[in-house]
Structures are given as structure tokens and as C-alpha cells.
Amino acid sequence: MDGMNRSIVSEFVFLGLTNSWATQFLLFFFTVLFYLASMMGNLVIGFTVTLDAHLHSPMYFLLANLSVTDMAFCSITAPKMIYDIFKKHKTISFWGCITQIFFSHAVGGTEMVLLIAMAFDRYVAICKPLHYLTIMSPRVCLFFLVSSWIIGLIHSLVQLVFVVDLPFCGPNTLDSFYCDLPRLLRLACMNTQELEFMVTVNSGLISVGSFVLLVISYIFILFTVWKHSSGGSSKALSTLSAHVTVVILFFGPLMFFYTWPSPASHLDKYLAIFDAFITPFLNPVIYTFRNKDMKVAMRRLYSRLKHYRKQLGCEDGTRDA
Ligand SMILES: *[C@@H]1O[C@H](CO)[C@@H](O)[C@H](O)[C@H]1NC(C)=O
């Protein structure tokens, strides 16, 4: 059981979510549906913000960047899971597994920082409206964007540096549909208690810490809105409630994974579906359905596209009647 046996495990086996044909079929249908819907929804947000000059403000730039990270996030585990659903023997190579962990933590960490930047943006817009454009200058937005990627990368690398060298000498089944750190550590042929603690601190504290920070800042913002409530406050409230919903949906399952004491529970496997498929899908839904400017911009973009197609002669004129 020493380092000499490390190369025995070259791939890991996923147990997946279910063995029943009917459930696999349903799972396939819904995961494909949600995956395509979240890719489409986030693409539409990204294009609308980029192409519509009315939405060229810090809030929408951050939102479009969140859409890009959402697309990246759901493409890390979802396609592989969908590809695997009907396979009896679901495997992933050692480096495939490490790659999944690397990107899910890097993109997840980035998304966390972006959510904090979005909260800060709302704080400035509501509590310091006269200085909004000077504080949230393009340079500051870019700074937020670059630091979110750097923090995500560092967060992910710090954990993986230790995992890459672990000895894996036999057991290679993961009761899951993707690679995650807590499960992988339990397969190593050495005592990983300290590493597990490090992962709990790194991922758990970061997610709980950001969540608490976000909740406090939103309570503070809501308090300010309520104190100065006037005509404009209902729009602010609807924007804020959209942000708070996204924050709870994103952090809820994460905090459960990394801080829940009982590793034997199967619940986290099902909660993982939530983060892999539902949250990236819900972000565009929440932001577009509740946001009038976004809806108006999407309609404007749509009619511009139609106009453009007519000019090119692609439209036969009868289809859109
Ligand atoms: C992301 O944010 C940057 C900085 O504000 C902005 O220039 C860029 O257009 C945004 N990305 C998208 C896809 O909107």
C-alpha cells in the first residue's frame, strides 16, 4: 500500500444515478432538454447584452459574463453525463476526472466572485447613485472580471496540487455521475483526513463565506431601498429579488456538498443535478422574465434580425404572419 502501486488505477467508474430503463429514459430526456435550454438561454442573454447599446451598463456586462460562465459550467459535467446515461460501464480516465474537478472548481469559483461583483454593483447603484458611473467605470468592471477568473483558478489549483500526487491503488468506483473531490479523496490508498479537511475549508468556507457576505449585503441594500422607498423602489426590489434567488439557488447545493458531515448520504448526488442542470437554466429565466429592459431589448434584437434577414432576401414573407 505505498506509492509504488499508484499507477494501478488509470480510470474511474461512475455508478450513475439509476439502473432502471424507464428512469434512464426520463433522465436522458430532461437532462438534454435542460442542457440545451440553458445553453440557448445564456447565449441569448450574451448576444442581447453585447448587441444592444441600451444594455451597455455595468450590471448587464456582469450579467452577460455570468451567462458565459454558466455555459462553461454546465458544459463541464452535463455532456459526459448525458453521453453515459445508457452505458452499462461508465468510465472516465484519471486525467479526465482531474480535468472535470479542475474546471468545475475554477468556473464555480469565478461564478461566486461574479455574484459578489453583481451585489457590489447593486450596492453602488442603490446606495451611491450619484457616483455609480464613476465607481463602476469600465476599468473597475474589467478588474472584477479578471480577478474573478484569477481567484477561480487559484482556488481550483490549490486543491488539485495535492490530489494529483495521491496514490490510487485499487478501488475506483465513484457513486456519482461526475468527479468531485470529496468522493475522489475517499478512494485514495492513504489517510486523507487532512486533505479532506483542507477541501472542506477551501470549498466549504469559501462558499459559506461568500453566501453570508452576499446575504448581508443584500439585506443592507434592501434596508436602504425600504428607508428611501419612493416611485423607483419597486423596480429595484424586483432586480434585487432576482439576484437573491440566483444566489440561494447557486449556493444552497454547494454549501450542502462541502459542509455536510455525513458522506454516506445519496442526497448530494441528486442535489448535484441541481447545480449541473437547473441553476444554469434558471439564471436566464429569472433575469429575463423579471426584467423589463431585458425583454424590451430581446424584442428589439429580434425585430432587427428579422429586418436584416428581409434585406438579405432570406424571408419568404409568409412564415411569420
Ligand atoms: C464582460 O465584462 C466586460 C467588462 O465589463 C465587458 O467588456 C464584456 O463585454 C462582458 N462580456 C460579455 C459577453 O458581455
In the chain, alpha helices (H): 21-51, 58-84, 94-127, 132-135, 138-163, 181-187, 193-199, 206-227, 233-259, 267-273, 279-289, 292-312
Residue 223 grid cell: 434596508
Over the Cα atoms of the chain, what is R_g?
22
How close is the Cα of 54 to the center of ligand 1, in Å? 14
Asked if residue 63 lies in contact with residue 52, where contact means CB atoms within 8 angstroms, the answer is no
Name the nearest CA neighbour of 141 among 240, 219, 211, 49: 49
- What's the N-to-C CA distance of the chain in angstroms? 72
Q: The whole model's pTM is what?
A: 0.85
Residue among 52, 60, 145, 149 whose CB has most ligand 1 atoms within 8 A, to mutate: 145
Residue among 49, 55, 57, 65 whose CB has most ligand 1 atoms within 8 A, to mutate: 65
How close is the Cα of 304 to the center of ligand 1, in Å? 22
Residue among 59, 141, 144, 283 whose CB has most ligand 1 atoms within 8 A, to mutate: 141
| Pairing outcome for strands 11-14 and 90-93 | antiparallel
Q: Measuring CA to CA, how many Å separate 295 from each of 32, 55, 251? A: 26, 11, 27
How close is the Cα of 46 to the center of ligand 1, in Å? 9
The C-alpha atoms of residue 228 and residue 139 are separated, in whole angstroms, by 30
The C-alpha atoms of residue 196 and residue 155 are separated, in whole angstroms, by 15
What number of residues does the chain have? 321
DSSP of 137-182, one letter per residue? -HHHHHHHHHHHHHHHHHHHHHHHHHHTT----S--EESSSS--HH
Sheet holding 11-14, edge to edge: 90-93, 11-14, 173-174
The C-alpha atoms of residue 217 and residue 120 are separated, in whole angstroms, by 8
Q: Measuring CA to CA, how many Å separate 236 from each of 52, 197, 230, 248? A: 21, 40, 10, 18
Local confidence pLDDT in tens for the 321 residues of the chain: 444 444 578 889 888 888 888 888 998 999 999 999 999 999 999 999 999 888 888 989 999 999 999 999 989 989 999 999 888 889 999 999 999 999 999 999 999 999 999 989 988 988 888 999 899 999 999 999 999 999 999 999 988 888 888 888 888 888 888 898 888 888 888 888 888 888 888 888 788 888 888 988 888 888 888 887 765 567 777 778 888 888 888 888 777 777 765 555 677 777 778 778 888 888 888 877 778 888 888 889 888 888 888 887 765 544 444
